Amino acid sequence: MEGNGTRLNETEVVCDINRNAVKRYWFYSSITCSLFSFAGNVLIILVFCTTKKLRTTTNCFIANMAISDLFVPVMNMIHNVLFTSVESPLVTQVVGNILCKLTTFLFNTSYGVSMTSLVVITVHRFYAVAFPVKTFKTSRTQSFKIRRVLLFSTWLGPVVVCGPFLGYSSYNSRRRDCYIDMAEERFVIWNIIFLSFFVALPFLVMFVLYPVIVSRLVKRKIPWDFHSRSQRKRYKRNISLTKMFVAIITALLLTYGSYQVVYVIILFSSSSQWCRSFKMLAVVYPFPDIFHVINPLLYFIFCSAYREKVKNMFLCSNRRKNAKFN
């Protein structure tokens, strides 16, 4: 979750920390991650839209995650350029307030959409591995209406729950900071609800189901003579997808998980512990941005069809350039 500018201001007095150096570290790491994240997620969306064989239920929700993840680099650019770079006359109190509320809301909504999409994918993966015959049969007759309802739900929940960020986020024109008053009791109660639904519950579902998925796949190793070609293909696909999502969840735990742990510590720490908490925050603050860079890379590594499509896109582009010069 974003929005710790108020603590950054307090540390200027309480902590022996170079506030400007910390902001530069956040700025450059955020800009770098945003550029790579934007490029990676745009590629995922382009490949999904232009390749019919990749339009499966799982890839549909991967594309959904990529769309939501695009908000992060775009909002990061706006947030960092306007709030942490050189002073801009365009950022008045009104404009700053609107952009502050919008960026904080979209940051957290994007995170919520990614987590709910991962939960839907996890449940679908479990069903595909536990009941492969039923999944194969229903996938052919499955209407787009079900997918649309599920996709709509992955956005509706986070948008509703993250709505209060529009009220709690504020812009300080003197310090040019976007911050949240985390000391307010109503915000603390609401924040516990957010952390329960979009941190604790999704991780619990994934940690319970993926070991079951892996164990079922391991036990299903039967000699290839007893498998049809379609069964072998489906088995290999389940193995590859399971590896990819285990890697994604591990990356999510190391990046967003580390950030959320520090965020909870800050949320419930006393005044005497603010300095130590902020030092931890200064280190892990860019971690969520790093996840949005890793996510497209993992898809490239584990999905051969996506990898081939990306290669073909660049090869075609190079051929066109060479043809123009010739």
Q: Which of these, 37, 29, 35, 26, lies nearest to 3 by C-alpha position?
A: 26
Angle at 37 between CA 36 and CA 43, to 5 degrees: 90
Of the candidate ranges 3-17, 93-107, 304-318, the one whose mean pLDDT is the lowest: 3-17
Q: Supply the pLDDT for residue 285.
A: 84
| 31 Cβ contact partners less than 8 Å away, ≥ 6 residues apart | 76, 77, 80
What average pLDDT is seen over the chain? 77
3-state secondary structure of 172: strand
Is residue 28 pLDDT above 80, yes or no? yes
48: which 2 tokens? 């999904």
273: which 2 tokens? 């512990």
| pLDDT digits 0-9 by tens, 80-130 | 666 655 555 556 677 777 878 888 888 889 989 999 999 999 988 888 777
What letter does residue 177 receive in the DSSP assignment?
Answer: E
Q: Which of these, 291, 296, 302, lies nearest to 242 by C-alpha position?
A: 302
Q: How far apart are CA 245 and CA 48, in angstroms?
A: 18
Q: Supply the pLDDT for residue 5.
A: 41
Average pLDDT over residues 132-149: 63
| pLDDT digits 0-9 by tens, 32-58 | 888 899 999 999 999 888 888 888 888
155: which 2 tokens? 């956005």
Class at the top of the CATH hierarchy for domain 5-315: mainly alpha
- Per-domain residue ranges of the chain: 5-315
The phi and psi torsions of 159 (rounded to 5 degrees) equal -65, -45
Q: Supply the pLDDT for residue 325.
A: 46
pTM: 0.80
Q: How far apart are CA 71 and CA 108, in angstroms?
A: 10
